[in-house]
């Protein structure tokens, strides 16, 4: 059974611990650099990416985390966690650093004032059982992706261009929305399968 940490500096940590446990992983909060060495994979929760970034630097986990991402550890980021996994962000704070790893440009708080928070069905490539219930809370979207990034879900705004809201690059997964708040653990189960595939050398 894979041991999956949830980065517990800030954000909705508890909900992810529950969702991972229900998806048959051993879940535990991770705060300190030493704890990063003891996990097979990591979830970066939703919350506030500027604060999370600051705390990651303060607690000394930013660099070790980058090293583990570079070495292939699977990571799943939701919302603020998606921002943390972006190689480049728009509308971030001037001094805001990310862990990076996914070759994408992510725009913070992208869904404007009218639409700061909303819920919408999302067709998610590779998941059986119909749409995922997408909970978007001051959510980012993915503005553009590099060639190695697989787009797993997009939203349409009428006839307007699509907004990308879920991506995967290698062992890294990111969603603009929060499956951990819905009681539907298919996205977490999808991630746990990714982790198992790595552990088994797949």
Query: What tokens appear for 48 in the block?
Result: 């506030």
Question: What string marks each residue from 108 to 137 as x (binds ligand GLN by CB under 6 A) or -?
Answer: xx---------------------------x
CA-closest candidate to residue 79, choices 130, 116, 27, 123: 116
Stretch that binds ligand GLN, among 30-38, 41-49, 144-152, 164-172 (CB under 6 A): 41-49
Tell me which of 10, 49, 98, 171 binds ligand GLN, using CB under 6 A.
Answer: 49
Alpha-carbon distance of 140 to 54, in angstroms, equals 19
Based on the shown chain and the rule CB under 6 A, indicate whether residue 9 belongs to the binding site for ligand GLN.
Answer: no
Q: Cα dihedral sign for 101, 13, 152, 23?
A: positive
193 marked ligand binding residue: no
d(CA 158, CA 161): 8
Catalytic residue, candidates 15, 16, 163, 180: 180
The reply to whether 93 sits in an annotated binding site is no
Dihedral angle over CA of 74, 191, 18, 131, nearest 10: 150
Phi, then psi, of 51 in degrees rounded to 5: -65, -45
Q: Is 53 in the site for ligand GLN (CB under 6 A)?
A: no
46 near ligand GLN, judged by CB under 6 A: yes
79 sits near ligand GLN (criterion: CB under 6 A): yes
Using CB under 6 A as the binding rule, whether residue 48 contacts ligand GLN is answered as yes
Q: Do the annotations mark residue 53 as ligand-binding?
A: no
Place of tokens 């990416």: 49
**Where do we find the tokens 């797949």?**
202
Active site residue 79: yes
Compute the distance between CA of residue 138 and CA of residue 75 in angstroms, rounded to an integer: 22
Active site residues: 79, 178, 180
**Binding site for L-glutamine, residues?**
47-49, 108, 137-138
Which residues are documented as binding site? 47-49, 108, 137-138
Binding site for ligand GLN (CB under 6 A): 46-49, 79-80, 83, 108-109, 137-138
């Amino acid at each position: 059974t894979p041991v999956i940490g949830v980065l517990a500096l800030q954000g909705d940590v508890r909900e992810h611990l529950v969702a991972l446990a229900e998806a048959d992983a051993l879940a535990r909060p991770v705060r300190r650099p030493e704890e990063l060495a003891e996990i097979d994979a990591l979830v970066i929760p939703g919350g506030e990416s500027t604060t999370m970034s600051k705390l990651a630097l303060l607690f000394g986990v930013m660099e070790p985390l980058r090293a583990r991402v570079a070495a292939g550890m699977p990571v799943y980021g939701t919302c603020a966690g998606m921002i943390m996994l972006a190689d480049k962000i728009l509308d971030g704070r001037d001094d805001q650093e990310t862990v990076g790893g996914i070759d994408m440009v992510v725009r913070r708080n992208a869904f404007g004032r009218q639409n700061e928070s909303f819920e919408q069905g999302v067709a998610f490539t590779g998941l059986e059982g119909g749409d995922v219930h997408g909970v978007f809370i001051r959510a980012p979207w993915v503005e553009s992706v590099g060639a190695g990034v697989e787009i797993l879900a997009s939203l349409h705004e009428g006839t307007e261009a699509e907004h990308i809201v879920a991506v995967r690059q290698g062992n890294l997964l990111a969603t603009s929305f929060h499956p951990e708040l819905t009681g539907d653990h298919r996205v977490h189960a999808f991630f746990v399968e990714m982790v198992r595939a790595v552990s088994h050398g797949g």
